Homo-oligomer: A and B are copies of this chain.
Amino acid sequence: MTGDASFEALGFRLGYLFKHVHLRLAEASALALAPFGVDGRELAVLVVLAAKDPLSQLEAAGRLGVDRTTMVALVDALEVKGLVERRRSSQDRRKNIVQLTPTGQDCLRKGEQARAEMERQFLAPLAPSDADRLVRSLQTLATAPATSPAAVPEDAG
């Protein structure tokens, strides 16, 4: 949609940059994963669910950083596609253990390969060292302690 919005006044704003880069990435991701019938978020769910020990929906939601109610629809979609299976935990029958089906594992493998290739192409406009640093900076920002909200430490000078 947006095309190439002029960069005159906004190109140095973090919000603008993140929004549009994220948008471009989403497009590229959708395109790359379309052949496998999943989108980027669903693939991420598969990744999480492929952990060594099986996870409940709530645990998976926690790792994905999504709400538990959002997880319901996410698992629903994957189950309809035959990529995962719910079963009641015998230890705690409140919990749904969600596991990949063989089809799901296949999808995960191929999807991850496609995603990796997509990301490589996406970062191609950057010098390799810049791409590397970008990812590491993003990791830092994603995990950094929430920058003290309105708690500008005036006494810390």
**Contact residues of A with B, CB < 8 Å?**
1-22, 24-29, 31, 40-41, 44, 47-48, 50-51, 62-67, 115, 117, 119, 121-126, 130-131, 133-144, 146-150, 152
Contacts and interface: CB of A to CB of B under 8 A. Distances in A.
Given A20-B142, A133-B130, A65 B28 contact: no
Contact of A147 (B17, B28, B146, B148): B28
B141 A137 contact: no
A69 to B, nearest CB: 11
When all copies of this chain in the complex are counted, the total is: 2
Given A10-B48, A18-B22, A134-B138, 17 more contacts: A6-B62, A9-B47, A10-B44, A10-B47, A10-B63, A13-B44, A17-B135, A17-B138, A21-B138, A21-B142, A31-B149, A31-B150, A122-B141, A122-B147, A126-B141, A133-B133, A133-B137
